Amino acid sequence: MTSLSKAEDQIREHFSVVLKEYGAFDRTLSALSSLSFILSEIREIAHETEMVDFRPKILSIDADSDLYTPDGLIVSKRCDFVLELKTSWDEKDVPQILKYGQSPGFILPDGKNQAFRPNKCVLLGYQNPPGLANLDSLFNAWESHKFPFPLVVFRYSLESAPEGDRMYFARVAYARNGLCPASKLGEALNNPRGFPVSADRYKLHRSRFHKANDQVIASYAAVIWWTKYVKHYLSEEQRSEMADRGRLSSPLVLKWEEINTIPELADVKVPLGPKDVQRALEFLAQAKLVSFKRRLGAYKIELKEDRYIRVPRDGPITRADAQDIAIKILARWARNKVKAPVDRSRAKSGKAGRRRTPTRDPRQASFF
């Protein structure tokens, strides 16, 4: 009984952690959606906005270094904003933000370089604002470089209100925090009371963001790939079978080389990339919705409609609680991570590993 209780506790702990990470990442995408909404549909702000890029590339100070990829670039008539969103503080934030401050320019949609104007601003948003010591560390480094433009740290959070959920933005009340240059967007962020964006207003923009510019957590990649991308790999015959039966009679086989060929989805500003799909498949493999066949060099996907995906009886939630496909996938992942973890050692052992075990049945499939 003790070991059973310990396993159940581990499953619940894994589920709790991954669910919190998933929710935090989802809020980040909601924040990007909210900013997309106000930059394009709030008349005063949209009127002064000349370009918005949520997949920007800005120049490094070293010509031999890779381009920097913040979460957003906003070019208005009066100033240039470089945007970065975080869940919580990390020590790597300081050098990253300094790089953004030192960047001399950015890449235009036509591939040409454009220098930043002197009237520039770096916007750094957190769901959980840093404590005083971390803010001191950040601004000590920023001020030591004597940048002639401000760094503005703000908080963003999804809040409930009588009229419905809203994304709320507020500049962090810290004495050394910067103020945005004069602009309508700057005025909104400088407002000490902050400003809300109703979920009903930004929801049309929400489907356009499948990740932040250059990152996605594995759990979120898994859910968005399963719900938005996988159906685009199907043949016409497989589509008909899914429509008739709600599941495929045989697994969808996705070869390694096909991972780099990602379906283009209409009206998606920031889609998944090849590395995101790889991480998604690995997560789904642990959730036992995908299996990796080393000898075939392929993933096999047991594709089925959401209603046919079962929650294990010894999982962290009951079937009655599993109304959301994301919750189902996360619950299956947590349960199998404890009860049936994926054995990665075989994939790494290669041919040498097989030579050391000549008595192994050669017909036995290898799983990643």
For the chain of 368 residues, list the mean pLDDT of each consecutive stretch of 10. 75 96 97 98 96 96 87 96 97 97 96 95 97 98 97 96 92 97 95 94 96 94 97 94 94 90 93 95 96 88 91 78 88 94 57 38 30
Would you give the DSSP letter of residue 342?
A: -
Query: CA 253 to CA 301: how far, in whole Å?
Result: 6
Query: CA 315 to CA 332: how far, in whole Å?
Result: 7
CATH architecture of 30-206: 3-Layer(aba) Sandwich (3.40)
Crossing angle for the helix pair 93-102 and 132-144, to the nearest 10 degrees: 30
Beta bridge partners, 359, equal none
- Of 343, 215, 223, nearest in space to 280 by CA: 223
Query: CA 196 to CA 303: how far, in whole Å?
Result: 39
* CATH 3.40.1350 domain position(s) in the chain: 30-206
Which tokens in the block code for residue 223?
A: 């859910």
pTM value is: 0.88
Query: CA 3 to CA 162: how far, in whole Å?
Result: 46
pLDDT at residue 4, as a whole number:
60
Report in angstroms the alpha-carbon separations of 54 from 69, 109, 250.
9, 12, 39
Query: How many CA atoms does the CB half-sphere of 284 hold within 13 Å?
Result: 27
- First-last CA distance in the chain: 31
